Amino acid sequence: MNFRRTFRSEEPEINLIPFIDVLLVVLIFLVLSTTYARFTELQIMLPVAGQTPQQQRAAEIHIAVAADGRCSIDGKSAECHSVALLAAALRQAAAQRNEPYLVIAADAGASHQAVVRVLDAARRAELARITFAAQRDAADE
């Protein structure tokens, strides 16, 4: 009499399909619930302006914007806290010139609002040719 049983040693089978289903549900949940902040973590480096040979234009209006918000048009102090007054001063300066260029030289510490105010005044004064002055990069020298 043989009372011994013979056992076969079978490898246990691991079913991965339910595990993959759970992972896919978690992945879909994460994709749908994540908000993407584009601008909060954006690290940028502003470009440096290289210098080309300066072209002399006969009809230029130079407007300077200081860091504290003061303005001057062609070296004369101007009221730049009001767009209407600044536009009138630009119209007066443009009346003496034929198709003038407006050259905006804004301090690096000047507020964005001050520069936008100058651009708005230029639009109201119907000055279409606008350029910005930049400082020469030290590496170009």
Instruction: Tell me the pLDDT tens digit for each residue of 28-77.
Output: 998 888 766 544 444 444 445 666 555 666 688 888 888 888 888 888 88
Q: Is the confidence at residue 10, as pLDDT, over 80?
A: no
Domain 60-135 bears CATH identifier 3.30.390.50: no
Q: Map out the domains of the chain as residue ranges.
A: 60-135
Any idea which residue has 């200081």 for tokens?
66
β 76-78/129-132 pair status:
unpaired
Look up residue 98 and give its DSSP letter. S
